[in-house]
């Protein structure tokens, strides 16, 4: 215990003070002041951004009310900022900008997405001027790197599916610090004397916040990396080697406790936190059990569950061990619904050759770049053909894809909808939700397209290409492609398709006719118009463009 305490105290002494988590206000540094000026100037001069409105009550270019959207919609899923000690009056400008940019994404004002994009770009440019940010940097900088990375993956002006060099550097630095981060965040608190002073308690709490936050940033980075590996088929940022251990980090990974639960993380004031911290025990991810629980299954929140899944996916030769067998997800029905959405999306993607699917549907375009080798494109078409014919993976992917779409939409009565949209998409506060729905739509198209008879050389699948295939990767406005089908007819076709594929088991899809499975036009058009078209950014623009070509029927894909 003495060694652990000394080690913990040393870590606390090395941690930098942060303007975002100090218990007392800290004056802005000259650098912070300069960055505030740059951010405000960019927002005031940005085209398309609505000015401050007295009626709305926005006194500044920084829309602080968007912080509440951040806490409500994003924080429960990536809780890397300690809300009780976050100072909205004097935050780090880059951290505040990253949080407001994410919060603005959930705002309903007409310029909200553009505002979010301007903040993302401005904060990213300022961050590039900084020196290298490592695991020992102040918390605000670590948090900023992560938050900007998450937002840029889906809504940057250009398509950026590769992890940035700055994120890779920070992730590697945190990974190398696993031994220190494995220290129990409550180590200082647990060694306080019975007659400790108020100052001693504040220091112990400060260490807990600092240490727990750094661990959370590492664990959240692993979750984000897992999402990129599964949903984009990107290589892992940090590769775990089987057969040999790199600096024992593979071993240490399983010995870093899961983050504390959201109740303790959000608890205040410090006196209330003290009472809970006395009996709290961190969950050992190797057993998924807690010493204070008298149940066979550990109850975990959404973030804890995602961290455990990232741990499992990163362990080579994981074998038959499945942490979910020892875990029960707790939380609101909404958070549980989001976890179910993730599970279904990840299973779908893992049974899909994502890279080949994107290349074939994009006609050799993928992530804003054109494939140079025609032979590679032909190889992708052949691989997708084998995937459809093999049935095992493709039927599983199709079943999860149709179920995923079905749970995200509501059909209005075509007779009573009038001028309202006949289809309403439920929106989950997951930044990867639109991309997951896009992949699900492509899975439906690819399987149905593959089932269509190759002799059908008319209509949807074989007319000569007559539109440019180059994607628009720098657009800052929603996609401008017009509607190709009547909205009500498209919704009716989509509803028929989803009803026909609503079967109890993936194997049951094999008995559905190819003609039925190939009728995906209404599905593609509805997802394009109702979900993707209103969004900005390179990734969503490319997704909308691909669906437009597939629906229009001018694809050069006579078959694959």
pLDDT in tens, 500-559: 999 999 999 999 999 999 999 999 999 999 999 999 899 999 999 999 999 987 555 556
Q: Is 505 within the bounds of a domain?
A: yes
Report the distance separating Cα 505 and Cα 525, nearest Å.
Answer: 26
Of 205, 220, 235, which closes a domain?
235
How are beta strands 327-329 and 298-300 bridged, if at all? parallel
Q: Is 265 within the bounds of a domain?
A: no
- Is residue 210 over pLDDT 70? yes
Of 235, 252, 281, which closes a domain?
235
pLDDT of residue 328: 86
Q: Where are the alpha helices (DSSP H) in 129-235?
A: 139-155, 165-176, 178-181, 187-190, 198-232
Of 203, 235, 267, which closes a domain?
235
Of 428, 399, 234, nearest to 341 (Cα)? 428
**Lowest-confidence pick of 11-20, 54-63, 319-328:** 11-20
**Lowest-confidence pick of 27-41, 94-108, 162-176, 492-506:** 27-41
Mean pLDDT for 462-489 is 57
- Distance of alpha carbon 422 from the chain centroid: 28
Report the distance separating Cα 134 and Cα 145, nearest Å.
Answer: 10
Domain that holds residue 452: 340-552
- Is residue 215 over pLDDT 90? yes
Q: Which residue has the higher pLDDT, 56 or 304?
A: 304
What are the distances in angstroms from CA 46 to CA 94, 442, 476? 18, 35, 12
Report the distance separating Cα 340 and Cα 334, nearest Å.
Answer: 10
Q: Which residue has the higher pLDDT, 109 or 400?
A: 400
Q: Is 284 within the bounds of a domain?
A: no
**Lowest-confidence pick of 114-128, 246-260, 384-398, 518-532:** 246-260
Mean pLDDT for 53-64 is 58
Percent of the residues in the chain that have a pLDDT greater than 70, as a whole number: 77
Number of domains forming the structure of the chain: 2
Are residue 198 and residue 51 in the same domain, yes or no? yes
Percent of the residues in the chain that have a pLDDT greater than 90, as a whole number: 57
Q: Is 87 within the bounds of a domain?
A: yes
Q: Is 251 within the bounds of a domain?
A: no
Are residue 372 and residue 500 in the same domain, yes or no? yes
Q: Which residue has the higher pLDDT, 120 or 250?
A: 120
pLDDT of residue 475: 46
- Is residue 449 over pLDDT 60? yes
pLDDT of residue 465: 32
Contact call for residues 480 and 546 (beta carbons, < 8 A): no
**What band does 121 get if pLDDT is binned at 50, 70 and 90?**
very high
pLDDT of residue 415: 53
Q: What confidence tens digit (pLDDT) does each residue in 280-322 have?
A: 999 886 654 444 344 456 789 999 999 999 988 876 544 333 4
Report the distance separating Cα 413 and Cα 422, nearest Å.
Answer: 7
Contact call for residues 267 and 274 (beta carbons, < 8 A): no
Exposed e or buried b for every residue in 277-301, given b needs 16+ CB within 10 A?
beebebbbbeebbbeeeeeeebebb
Q: Which residue has the higher pLDDT, 514 or 416?
A: 514
Q: What confidence tens digit (pLDDT) does each residue in 231-283 have?
A: 999 999 987 654 444 444 444 444 789 999 999 999 999 999 999 999 999 98
- Is residue 343 over pLDDT 80? yes
Q: Is 257 within the bounds of a domain?
A: no
Mean pLDDT for 451-463 is 43
pLDDT of residue 331: 81
Chain-wide mean pLDDT for the chain? 81
Contact call for residues 257 and 285 (beta carbons, < 8 A): yes
Report the distance separating Cα 206 and Cα 174, nearest Å.
Answer: 20
pLDDT of residue 52: 60
pTM of the model: 0.85
pLDDT of residue 161: 92
Q: Is 260 within the bounds of a domain?
A: no
Q: Is 58 within the bounds of a domain?
A: yes
Q: What confidence tens digit (pLDDT) does each residue in 216-233 have?
A: 999 999 999 999 999 999
Q: What confidence tens digit (pLDDT) does each residue in 18-44 have?
A: 333 333 333 344 567 788 888 888 888
């Amino acid at each position: 215990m003495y060694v652990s305490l000394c080690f913990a105290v040393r870590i606390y002494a090395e941690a930098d003070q942060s303007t975002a988590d100090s218990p007392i206000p800290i004056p802005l540094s000259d650098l912070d002041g300069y960055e505030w000026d740059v951010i405000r100037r960019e927002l005031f001069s940005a085209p398309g951004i609505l000015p401050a409105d007295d009626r709305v009550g926005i006194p500044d270019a920084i829309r602080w009310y968007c912080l509440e959207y951040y806490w409500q919609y994003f924080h429960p899923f990536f809780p890397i900022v300690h809300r009780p000690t976050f100072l909205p009056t004097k935050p780090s400008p880059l951290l505040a900008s990253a949080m407001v940019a994410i919060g603005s994404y959930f705002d309903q004002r007409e310029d909200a997405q553009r505002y979010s994009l301007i903040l993302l770009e401005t904060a990213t440019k300022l961050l590039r001027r900084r020196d290298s940010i490592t695991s020992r940097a102040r918390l605000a900088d670590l948090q900023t790197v992560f938050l900007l990375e998450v937002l840029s993956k889906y809504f940057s002006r250009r398509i950026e599916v590769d992890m940035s060099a700055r994120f890779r550097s920070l992730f590697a630095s945190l990974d190398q610090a696993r031994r220190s981060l494995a220290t129990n965040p409550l180590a200082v608190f647990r060694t306080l004397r019975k007659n400790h002073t108020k100052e001693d308690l504040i220091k112990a709490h400060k260490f807990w916040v600092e240490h727990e936050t750094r661990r959370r940033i590492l664990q959240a980075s692993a979750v984000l990396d897992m999402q990129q590996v599964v949903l984009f088929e990107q290589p892992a940022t940090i590769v775990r080697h089987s057969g040999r251990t790199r600096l024992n980090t593979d071993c240490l990974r399983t010995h870093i406790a899961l983050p504390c639960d959201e109740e303790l993380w959000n608890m205040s004031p410090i006196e209330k936190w003290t009472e809970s911290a006395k009996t709290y025990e961190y969950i050992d991810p190797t057993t998924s059990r807690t010493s204070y629980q008298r149940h066979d299954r550990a109850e975990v929140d959404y973030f804890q569950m995602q961290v455990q899944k990232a741990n499992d996916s990163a362990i080579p030769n994981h074998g038959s061990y499945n942490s979910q067998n020892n875990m029960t997800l707790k939380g609101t029905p909404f958070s549980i619904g989001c976890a179910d959405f993730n599970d279904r999306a990840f299973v779908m993607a893992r049974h899909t050759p994502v890279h080949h699917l994107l290349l074939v549907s994009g006609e050799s375009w993928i992530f804003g770049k054109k494939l140079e080798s025609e032979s590679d494109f032909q190889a992708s078409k052949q691989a997708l053909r084998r995937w459809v014919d093999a049935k095992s993976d493709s039927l599983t992917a199709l079943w999860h894809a149709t179920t995923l779409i079905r749970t995200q939409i509501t059909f209005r009565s075509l007779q009573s909808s009038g001028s309202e949209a006949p289809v309403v998409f439920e929106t989950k506060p997951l930044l990867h939700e639109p991309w997951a729905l896009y992949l699900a739509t492509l899975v439906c198209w690819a399987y149905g397209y593959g089932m269509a008879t190759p002799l059908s050389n008319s209509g949807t699948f074989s007319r000569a290409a007559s539109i440019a295939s180059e994607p628009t990767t720098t657009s800052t406005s929603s996609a401008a492609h017009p509607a190709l089908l009547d909205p009500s007819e498209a919704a009716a076709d989509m509803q028929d398709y989803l009803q026909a594929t609503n079967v109890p088991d993936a194997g049951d899809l094999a008995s559905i006719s190819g003609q039925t499975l190939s009728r995906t036009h209404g599905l593609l058009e509805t997802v394009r118009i109702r979900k993707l078209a209103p969004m900005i950014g390179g990734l969503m623009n490319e997704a909308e463009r691909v669906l437009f070509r597939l629906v229009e029927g001018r694809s050069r894909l006579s078959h694959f």
